[in-house]
Amino acid sequence: MTLVDGSSLKVEPRSRVEVGDRTPSALKLVLARGRIACDVTHREGRSFVVAAGGVEVRVVGTRFSVANEEAEAGRRVEVRVERGVVEVRGAGPGAEVERVEAGHSWSQVTKTEALAAPEPETEPEAEAEPVAPAAPAGKPHAHAARPAAADARELFEQARGQWRAGRIEEAARTYQALLASHPRDPRAGLAAFELGRLRMDRLNDLTGAVQALEQAVALAPGAELREDALARLVSASAAAHDRARCTRARTRYLTDYPSGVHHRTVSAAPCD
C-alpha cells in the first residue's frame, strides 16, 4: 500500500499492522505480528516509527523491514536495513539506542512473559434503554428520547473498521455519512480524502472520486494531505476524461507545490 506522503508499505500475509499515531509531525505503526517492509519518503520535521514487541525503529527516509515472529524463548524482532540508517531502541528498561546502517541487521528475542498481554477484544455491553417515568393519571406517557446520532469520531472509526474488513462499499457509505452530518469536524477533510481513494482505487467510481477529492481539498486547505488530495484529483479527472477539471487541478498543484513530491506525475497527467 502507498501512504498519503508517498511512502510505501509491503505487508506480508498473516501479518497485523495498526496505526498508532498519525499527525503531521509523526507517524507510528505497530507491528503485532508478521513482517512489514517500508520505503519511507523523507519529510522535514516528521518522524516515522515502527514498534514491534517493545522494540522501536525510528527512521527518516530509508528502506528497511521489521519482523515480529515467534521464537523458542518468546518473540523475535528483526530489523534489516536496505538503504539509509535507522535507530533501534531495544525492549525493556534501560535499553540503548543503536544505529543500523544499510546492509546490516539487528535482532532481539524477548521472553513472552515479559511482554504485556493485549487486552481481549470484547463487545461493549448494551446499555439499557431509558424508560419514561410514569405519567400522572389522565396524562399520556412522554415519548422516550431518540438516541443521539453517531458522532464524527465514531463514524470515522467505523469506516476504518469496515475498510480493514474488506467491506468497501459500506466504508464508502460511512465516510459519506460523516461528511453529510459533520462537514465541519476536523476529520472531515481526511474522511473526504479516504472516500476519494476508495472510489478511485476500489469502486471504479471516478466521478464520485473527483467529487470527494475536491471536497478534501476544500475542507483541508492547510493540511498535509491537501497536496496528496490535489495530486489524486488530477489523476482521477484525467481518468474520467474531464479535461477542464484536470487542467485546473494540475495548474493549481504546480502553482501551490512547485517542488512537490508528485510534481513529475502531475506534470505528465494527460489533461489536454
pLDDT tens-digit readout, 53-108: 888 888 756 788 888 887 666 778 888 888 878 888 887 777 777 888 877 888 88
Whether 86 and 156 share a structural domain: no
Helical pair 225-239 and 243-256, crossing angle rounded to 10 deg: 150
Sequence letter at residue 152: A
Whether 89 and 171 share a structural domain: no
Give the CATH number of the domain where residue 166 resides. 1.25.40.10
> Which of these three, 88, 113, 138, is where a domain ends?
113
pTM metric for this prediction: 0.51
Distance CA 120, CA 123 (A): 10
Domain with 177 in it: 152-267
Tens of each residue's pLDDT in the chain, 272 residues: 777 667 788 888 888 888 877 776 778 888 888 889 888 877 766 778 888 888 888 875 678 888 888 766 677 888 888 887 888 888 777 777 788 887 788 888 876 544 443 443 333 333 333 334 444 444 444 443 333 346 888 898 899 889 888 899 999 999 999 999 998 888 888 899 889 989 998 899 999 999 999 999 998 766 567 888 888 999 999 999 999 999 999 999 999 888 877 888 899 999 97
Report if residue 1 sits inside a domain: no
Residue 56 and residue 76 in contact, taking contact as beta carbons nearer than 8 Å: no
| DSSP code of residue 240 | T
Give the CATH number of the domain where residue 18 resides. 2.60.120.1440
